[in-house]
Amino acid sequence: MPPISIFGEDRNPRGIPKAPFIANIEEYVGGPDGEVEEHLKEFQDAIAKYRYMDGSLTQKRKGLEDKIPDIKKTLHMVEFLHERREGKQKAVGEDDLEDDEGSDGAKTPLTTTFELNDTLYAEAQLEDTDTVYLWLGANVMLSYKIDEAIVLLRSKLDVADTTLKTTIEDLEFIREQLTVMEVNTARMYNWDVKRRRERRVAEEATEKKKGP
């Protein structure tokens, strides 16, 4: 975001500028005869930019809140395949000490349902495998060994969780700055209205003193 003249150096960890609270309006505009129009325009520009950032981060938050459950679901499934495969290998090793029948049982495919879309599922049989295919986005799918897939998914989940947390923090920060700028705008507008009223009263009093 381009720098705004009303902002100082204070920023949050992601570089979003902090809005200053204007405690003394008269001093800020340069005295009792200072013009407010340009300052009010700067305030409105700052508010518009904060609102733009708020909208962008709100969309980002929604995308992450949709993405994280999908990552968790995929990770849960891959971990299940890993545990099942490890269990099979252990069972085969134990059965081999007794007879060869356990080997056939360990190869029994897993029957499950496969999600075609949000409301449509099909039945599928999963054979024992050490490879899974993951969608990476942009119509790209790559194969990974199960152990590698678990590491990748956990990493993606950690990144997504951290990003969601900082996005929520930034949204809260931006909304605080919006409130500050709206208060500044209202206080400056009210100060200008009061100043105009006092000038008008003073002018009327002067006219009365002059008389007819």
Each residue's pLDDT tens digit, 148-192: 999 999 999 999 999 999 999 999 999 999 999 999 999 999 999
Report CA Rg, the chain. Answer: 32
Tell me what the mean pLDDT of segment 12-40 comes to.
93
CA distance 202 to 212: 17
pTM for the predicted model, two decimal places = 0.78
Average pLDDT, the chain: 87
Contacts of 151 (CB under 8 A, 6+ apart): none
Alpha helices of 32-145 — where are they, by DSSP H?
A: 37-96, 101-106
pLDDT tens digits for range 86-115:
876 665 555 554 554 444 544 567 788 877
Whether 76 shows a pLDDT value over 90: the answer reads: yes
The tokens describing 145, both together, are 């060994």
Residue 70 near residue 78, CB atoms below 8 Å: no
